[in-house]
């Protein structure tokens, strides 16, 4: 039986007198379907890597045509929320078990394709400093987790990451859990805490290495480094991770595609 035949079109709604100014005056059906699908993802109805119901199935549930469901899924696929596989089905996107490890990492070696080794340096719980709390939309002093780690290529340190996470969302996160898990942190976050990183913004600057950083990255003090500040979001544009990476760009570079 249909779980929720939609059909609450904005156009059918009672016209508001004098609605001349902006506002979402019209919301197409497929956009509403998309909203319902995102709500299901957010609610954990389908987990990372799993298949969602077929297009015909969903069309039946929502009481719309296949084409309408298709358009909703198309948009979600282009936003990397879902992955289509012809003949097999449509799957919830995941950072684990993905062709490209580290979906968000834009660092590329000058030559070859070295895989990166992780080295966890620190993981502790702390009270959120105001500057970080603000970006994560938390209150200053709230519980948070701080992680520091290195990424190495062929034994040489290339990236020093500081990571801050809201304590509320990542309750059982410990050094051990981080060390046990194979693959990128974001895979662990999905599997263990149900937190999907959907998109992120990065702010990139150049800065000079101070003494502490220089030792960790094995570069001279004052060496120029790339500072990459990343704010990551889950469903509903909710910020859930702040990360500050320092990249040593002598034999690697940050790659970006412009369209």
Partner DNA sequence: AAGTGGTCTAGACCACTCT
Partner DNA sequence: GAGTGGTCTAGACCACTTG
Residues within the interface to its own copies (CB under 8 A): 78-80, 104, 106, 199-208, 222-226, 230, 247, 249, 253-259
Return the closest-CA partner of residue 77 out of 111, 20, 37. 37
> What does 55 bind: its own copies, DNA, none (CB cut-off 5 to 8 Å by kind)?
DNA
> What does 222 bind: its own copies, DNA, none (CB cut-off 5 to 8 Å by kind)?
its own copies
Q: What are phi and psi of 226, to 5 degrees?
A: -90, 125
Q: Which residues contact 72 (CB under 8 A, 6 or more apart)?
A: 30, 31, 33, 34, 37
Taking the least distance from each CB to its own copies, the nearer of 90 and 232 is 232
Q: Are residues 43 and 100 in contact, defined by beta-carbon separation less than 8 angstroms?
A: no
In terms of C-beta density within 10 A (0-12 exposed, 13-18 middle, 19 or more buried), how is residue 70 classed? middle
Taking the least distance from each CB to its own copies, the nearer of 177 and 199 is 199
Closest approach, Cβ 190 to DNA, in A, equals 21
Q: Which H or E element spans position 62?
A: helix 55-62
Q: Which H or E element spans position 120?
A: strand 116-127
Closest approach, Cβ 3 to its own copies, in A, equals 30
Instruction: Name the 3-class secondary structure at 76.
Output: helix
Point out which residues pair with 233 in neighbouring strands: 199, 239
Closest approach, Cβ 123 to its own copies, in A, equals 24
Q: Site residues (CB under 7 A) for DNA?
A: 9, 11, 25-26, 28-31, 52, 54-57, 64-68, 70-71, 84-90
Closest approach, Cβ 127 to its own copies, in A, equals 27
> What does 249 bind: its own copies, DNA, none (CB cut-off 5 to 8 Å by kind)?
its own copies
Closest approach, Cβ 138 to its own copies, in A, equals 22
Helical ranges in 91-241 per DSSP H: 130-135, 175-180, 185-193, 211-217
Taking the least distance from each CB to DNA, the nearer of 61 and 71 is 71
Closest approach, Cβ 164 to DNA, in A, equals 37
Taking the least distance from each CB to its own copies, the nearer of 167 and 184 is 184
**Integer Cα distance of 137 and 233 in angstroms:** 11
Residue with tokens 């379907």: 33
Taking the least distance from each CB to its own copies, the nearer of 29 and 226 is 226
Taking the least distance from each CB to DNA, the nearer of 83 and 219 is 83
């Amino acid at each position: 039986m249909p779980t929720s035949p939609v059909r609450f079109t904005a156009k059918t709604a009672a016209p508001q007198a004098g609605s001349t100014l902006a506002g979402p005056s019209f919301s197409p059906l497929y956009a509403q379907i998309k909203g319902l699908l995102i709500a299901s993802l957010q609610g954990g109805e389908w987990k990372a890597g799993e298949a969602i119901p077929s297009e015909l199935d969903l069309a039946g549930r929502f009481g719309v045509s296949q084409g309408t469901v298709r358009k909703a899924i198309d948009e979600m696929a282009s936003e990397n929320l879902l992955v289509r596989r012809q003949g097999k089905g449509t799957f919830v996107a995941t950072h684990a078990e993905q062709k490209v490890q580290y979906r968000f990492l834009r660092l590329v070696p000058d030559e070859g394709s070295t895989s990166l080794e992780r080295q966890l340096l620190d993981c502790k719980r702390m009270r959120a400093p105001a500057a970080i709390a603000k970006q994560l939309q938390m209150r200053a002093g709230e519980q948070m987790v701080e992680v520091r780690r290195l990424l190495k290529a062929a034994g040489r340190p290339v990236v020093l990451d500081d990571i801050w996470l809201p304590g509320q969302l990542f309750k059982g996160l410990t050094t051990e859990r981080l060390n046990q898990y194979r693959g990128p942190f974001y895979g662990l976050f999905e599997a263990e805490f149900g937190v999907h990183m959907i998109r992120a913004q990065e702010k990139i600057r150049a800065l000079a290495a101070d003494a502490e950083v220089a030792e960790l990255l094995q570069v001279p003090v004052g060496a120029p480094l790339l500072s990459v500040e990343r704010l990551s979001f889950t469903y509903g544009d909710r910020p859930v991770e702040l990360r500050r990476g320092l990249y040593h760009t002598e034999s690697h570079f940050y790659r970006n595609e412009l369209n």
